[in-house]
């Protein structure tokens, strides 16, 4: 049995790592990959390990949560690293050790394995994790689509018709020099409606195409992708039209609950644009309630944005400023809430003779 081992932070897992892994897979019967926890990236160990599992299903992953923090070529550090690796292997015999670093020498000797150093001078794949972390977009050709897509923050704007979703999504993309995803459902409806209606089977066609286009745009995006609605909106429309939704749409709407990093609900506090393809301001309020209720049923947290376009842009940017791709969205909620408390306290401190104190609009951006 030829058994290989490679290890690293894989932060992120790039084409150089892939070349190493693919070389190993042609030379050994079984390959183990040890993935280390690290603070050089916010991407959790499980996510980095998940990339490798999905790309190479036969690989055996060892999660190294408690690995040594030290890195270097001193005898003490080498011994510490070797002891840790041997402990994690727990007697497993490794015949080939794969790396592209100096430590390939001493680790392979400690394992009694063949030292297989792959592209140590980075000539075949001239990239490093450090360089990629500086600018994922600039180095995206060195990342598998699966990995690059996993690094993009996907933001979805929801709301009833005529709540400013399209304008806000387009504007945010322009301000952040990235891509935005138009609402495919609106395009489909305009092309296929008969007497302002489409069939239940036609609703089944919308979400898959929306997702396909969205996935393509993700790979062209720089840090963010701003999306004008998602399959949840299509699901609510289907229920409005037919009282139910088909299995494909229902499944994709469920998957959409975790597909996006942030949800923003555009408020109905702007003038209603009464175009021929819409059903009136009264229906806008009704449909907004349907979306809010659906999000509540799904337990999907969202931020509400209101006011002028610039006010909404400011509210979204404030959330993005605090957001971390793999962080806790409730940390943003607590931070925003604290600011709102300060604003409220200041209002209460104003003289009672100031009439504007009780007439200010509620600030947007809260969950």
Residue entry with tokens 């944005």: 305
CA distance linking residue 57 with residue 171, whole number of Å: 40
Distances (CA, A) of 292 to 236, 283, 295: 10, 14, 5
Burial of 124 (0-12, 13-18, 19+ CB in 10 A): exposed
Q: Give yes or no for residue 255 having a pLDDT over 90.
A: yes
Residue entry with tokens 């998602």: 230
Calculate Rg over the CA atoms of the chain: 26
| Mean pLDDT score, 27-46 | 97
Strands (E), 28-120: 30-36, 60-64, 96-99, 114-117
Q: How many CA atoms lie within 13 A of 168 on its CB side?
A: 32
Burial of 359 (0-12, 13-18, 19+ CB in 10 A): exposed
Read off the pLDDT band of 196 (50, 70, 90): confident
Read off the pLDDT band of 43 (50, 70, 90): very high
Residue 360: per-residue pLDDT:
31
Chain centroid to Cα 281, Å, comes to 34
pTM of the model: 0.87
| Mean pLDDT score, 160-174 | 96
What are the chain's domains? 3-139 (3.40.50.620), 152-349 (3.40.50.300)
Residue entry with tokens 């790039």: 14
178, 319, 335: which is closest to 262 by C-alpha?
319
Q: Give yes or no for residue 356 having a pLDDT over 50.
A: no
Per the CB < 8 A criterion, the answer to whether 27 and 19 are in contact is: no
Read off the pLDDT band of 341 (50, 70, 90): very low
Distances (CA, A) of 8 to 2, 141, 144, 206, 268: 21, 21, 17, 42, 50
Q: Write out pLDDT tens, residues 175-188.
A: 999 999 999 999 99
CA distance linking residue 315 with residue 365, whole number of Å: 5
Cβ contacts of 359 within 8 Å, gap of 6 or more: none
Q: Write out pLDDT tens, residues 198-246.
A: 999 999 999 999 999 999 999 999 999 999 999 999 999 999 999 999 9
């Amino acid at each position: 049995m030829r058994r290989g081992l490679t290890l690293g932070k894989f932060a992120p897992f790039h084409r150089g790592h892939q070349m190493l892994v693919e070389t190993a897979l042609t030379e050994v019967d079984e390959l183990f990959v040890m993935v280390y926890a690290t603070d050089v990236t916010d991407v959790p160990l499980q996510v980095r390990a998940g990339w490798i599992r999905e790309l190479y299903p036969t690989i055996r992953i060892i999660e190294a949560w408690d690995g040594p923090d030290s890195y270097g070529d001193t005898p003490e550090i080498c011994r510490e690293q070797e002891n840790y690796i041997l402990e994690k292997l727990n007697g497993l015999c490794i015949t080939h050790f794969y790396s592209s670093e100096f430590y390939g020498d001493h680790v392979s000797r400690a394992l009694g394995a063949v030292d297989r150093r792959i592209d140590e001078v980075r000539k075949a794949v001239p990239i490093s994790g450090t360089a990629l972390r500086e600018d994922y977009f600039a180095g995206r050709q060195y990342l598998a689509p699966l990995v690059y897509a996993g690094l993009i923050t996907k933001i979805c704007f929801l709301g009833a018709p005529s709540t400013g979703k399209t304008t806000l999504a387009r504007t945010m993309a322009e301000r952040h020099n990235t891509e935005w995803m138009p609402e495919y459902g609106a395009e489909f409806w305009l092309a296929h409606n008969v007497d302002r209606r489409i069939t239940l089977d036609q609703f089944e066609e919308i979400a898959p195409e929306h997702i396909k286009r969205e996935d393509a745009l993700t790979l062209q995006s720089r840090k963010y992708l701003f999306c004008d609605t998602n399959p949840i909106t299509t699901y609510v429309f289907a229920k409005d039209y037919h009282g139910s939704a088909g299995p494909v749409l229902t499944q994709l709407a469920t998957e959409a609950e975790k597909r996006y990093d942030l949800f923003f609900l555009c408020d109905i506090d702007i003038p209603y644009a009464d175009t021929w393809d819409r059903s009136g301001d009264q229906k806008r309020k009704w449909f907004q309630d349907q979306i809010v209720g659906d999000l509540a049923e799904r337990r999907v947290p969202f931020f509400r944005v209101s006011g002028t376009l610039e006010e909404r842009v400011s509210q979204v940017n404030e959330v993005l400023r605090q957001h971390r791709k793999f962080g806790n969205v409730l940390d943003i909620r607590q931070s925003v809430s604290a600011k709102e408390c300060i604003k409220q306290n200041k209002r209460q401190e104003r003289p009672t003779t100031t009439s504007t104190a009780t007439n200010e609009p509620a600030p947007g951006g809260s969950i």
